[in-house]
């Protein structure tokens, strides 16, 4: 099983920088050694094939991998399809260690603390250290929320020269840490999560087609109402909204990696009307498709 990274706070993990990267077929995540910072990768679409030391990971949609600052990580295979992922560099300035899963859960079953009321009465002004654990590789419990937070952090980099923005980034980044920690507690699949994942998988394969709740239910053999309830719990949205976000994410790839007109991009990802595509893209991304291309096209690989 993937290792677990446990750290002592304070101090809290420190945000450095983040971004959104698109990789074409055959594209690879850069290979690096001892970069001095943790590198969080969150897949939006496609798959990254990344190894660290002797372990190899397939980072598919909704999964996250933390690459350690003291290790060699590398791409062991190029992308088999166009892929999109968030990346975020952060640092833990305090103590941290790597545990295997058995060791971690075993240590959680043992208590090393005395009565907290007794401690507070003896040390009323002391700073009490505590530990937090992050799964090195996990399926995110709230992948959409994670993507939204990292996107907001990346957008805030445009105003990084303002001290108030830097402080807001550090506060917002703690939500990333909490989401990663929460994923450790919810790694075991439930019937609801399995249903939601089957529905999501179907939508990923058929995102260009018109949406039909009835057709989706028939395809994966679940009632549409149950599917909607499971996806709301798993992804925080209905199947139709999940599909809309999927199309928007795919359109980002086309905007960054091709020179197709916006109208053609809309058609390629399943929108019947370019105006509806532009309105939907603007609502989710806070800017029009043309503005998005102008701002981020220089990052394309």
Convert 247-282 into a string of H (helix), E (strand) and C (coil). HHHHHHHHHHHCCCCHHHHHHHCCCCCHHHHHHHHH
Domain boundary, last residue among 185, 213, 241: 185
Summarised one tens digit per residue, pLDDT across range 90-112 is 999 989 999 887 677 666 654 44
Q: Are 84 and 249 in contact (CB under 8 A)?
A: yes
Residue 19 has pLDDT above 80, yes or no: yes
Higher pLDDT among residues 300 and 82, named by residue: 82
Q: Are 160 and 28 in contact (CB under 8 A)?
A: no
Token pair 């976000």 in the structure block, residue: 245
Q: Domain check: are 232 and 150 in the same one? A: no
Q: What is the mean pLDDT of residues 54-71?
A: 93
Q: Are 286 and 155 in contact (CB under 8 A)?
A: yes
Higher pLDDT among residues 38 and 123, named by residue: 38
Token pair 């928007």 in the structure block, residue: 248
Peptide bond preceding 294 in cis form (omega within 30 of 0): no
Domain boundary, last residue among 122, 155, 185: 185
Token pair 């999501």 in the structure block, residue: 200
Per the prediction, the chain carries an average pLDDT of: 87
CA 96 to CA 133: how far, in whole Å?
9
Peptide bond preceding 10 in cis form (omega within 30 of 0): yes
Q: Domain check: are 161 and 248 in the same one? A: no
Structural domain range at position 112? 4-185
Q: Domain check: are 122 and 105 in the same one? A: yes
Domains identified in the chain, total number: 2
Least confident of 101-110, 147-156, 254-263: 101-110
pLDDT of amino acid 102: 67
Q: Domain check: are 118 and 177 in the same one? A: yes
Q: Domain check: are 254 and 123 in the same one? A: no
Q: Are 201 and 234 in contact (CB under 8 A)?
A: no
Q: Domain check: are 99 and 222 in the same one? A: no
SS3 6: strand
Closest CA to 262 of 250, 282, 277, 284: 277
Which percentage of the chain shows pLDDT scores above 70? 88
* Cβ within 8 Å of residue 216, ≥6 positions away: 199, 202, 203, 224, 227, 239
Residue 157 is classified by DSSP as G
SS3 283: helix
**In the structure, what pLDDT confidence band is assigned to residue 298 with cuts at 50, 70 and 90?**
low
**Is the alpha carbon torsion for 192, 198, 201, 206 positive or negative?**
negative
Q: Domain check: are 119 and 38 in the same one? A: yes
Q: Domain check: are 196 and 179 in the same one? A: no
Q: What is the mean pLDDT of residues 198-214?
A: 93
Q: What is the mean pLDDT of residues 31-58?
A: 93
Q: Domain check: are 253 and 203 in the same one? A: yes
Domain boundary, last residue among 155, 185, 215: 185
Alpha-carbon Rg for the chain, nearest whole angstrom, is 21
Q: What tokens appear for 181 in the block?
A: 């920690």
Least confident of 106-110, 134-138, 181-185, 276-280: 106-110
pLDDT of amino acid 125: 57
pLDDT of amino acid 299: 45
Higher pLDDT among residues 109 and 144, named by residue: 144
Q: Domain check: are 146 and 13 in the same one? A: yes
Q: What is the CATH number of the domain that holds 180?
A: 2.60.120.280
Indicate the pTM of the whole model.
Answer: 0.61
Q: What is the mean pLDDT of residues 171-180?
A: 94
CA 183 to CA 169: how far, in whole Å?
22
Summarised one tens digit per residue, pLDDT across range 114-134 is 455 555 565 555 567 788 899
pLDDT of amino acid 144: 86
Q: What is the mean pLDDT of residues 237-247?
A: 93
Summarised one tens digit per residue, pLDDT across range 216-240 is 999 999 999 999 999 998 888 999 9
Pairing of strands 4-9, 130-135: antiparallel
Q: Domain check: are 11 and 131 in the same one? A: yes
Q: Domain check: are 228 and 179 in the same one? A: no
pLDDT of amino acid 122: 57
Q: What is the mean pLDDT of residues 254-265?
A: 92
Q: What is the mean pLDDT of residues 184-196?
A: 75
Q: Are 44 and 147 in contact (CB under 8 A)?
A: yes
Q: What is the CATH number of the domain that holds 204?
A: 1.10.10.60
């Amino acid at each position: 099983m993937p290792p677990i990274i446990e750290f002592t706070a304070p101090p809290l993990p420190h945000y450095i920088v983040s971004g959104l990267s698109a990789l074409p077929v055959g594209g690879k995540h850069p290979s690096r050694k001892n970069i001095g910072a943790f590198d969080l990768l969150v897949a939006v679409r496609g798959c990254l094939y990344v190894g660290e030391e002797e372990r190899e990971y397939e980072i598919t949609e909704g999964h996250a991998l933390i690459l350690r600052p003291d290790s060699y990580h590398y791409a062991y295979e190029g992308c088999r399809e166009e892929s999109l992922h968030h990346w975020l560099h952060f640092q833990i300035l305090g103590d941290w260690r790597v545990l295997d899963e058995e060791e971690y859960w075993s240590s959680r079953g043992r208590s090393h603390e005395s009565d907290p009321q007794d401690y507070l009465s003896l040390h009323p002004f002391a700073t009490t250290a505590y530990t937090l654990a992050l799964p090195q590789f996990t399926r995110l419990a709230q992948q959409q929320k994670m993507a939204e937070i990292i996107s907001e952090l990346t957008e805030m980099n445009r105003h990084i020269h303002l001290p108030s923005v830097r402080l807001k980034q550090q506060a917002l980044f703690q939500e990333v840490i909490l989401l990663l920690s929460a994923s450790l507690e919810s790694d075991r699949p439930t019937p609801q999560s399995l249903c939601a994942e089957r529905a999501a998988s179907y939508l990923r394969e058929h995102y260009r087609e018109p949406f039909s709740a009835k057709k989706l239910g028939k395809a994966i053999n679940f009632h549409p109402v149950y599917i909607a309830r499971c996806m709301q719990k798993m992804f925080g949205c209905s199947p139709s909204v999940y599909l809309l976000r999927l199309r928007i994410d795919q359109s980002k790839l086309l905007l960054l990696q091709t020179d197709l007109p916006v109208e053609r991009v809309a058609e390629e990802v399943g929108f019947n009307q370019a105006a509806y595509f532009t309105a939907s893209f603007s609502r989710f991304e806070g800017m029009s498709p043309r503005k998005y291309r102008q701002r981020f096209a220089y990052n394309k690989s």
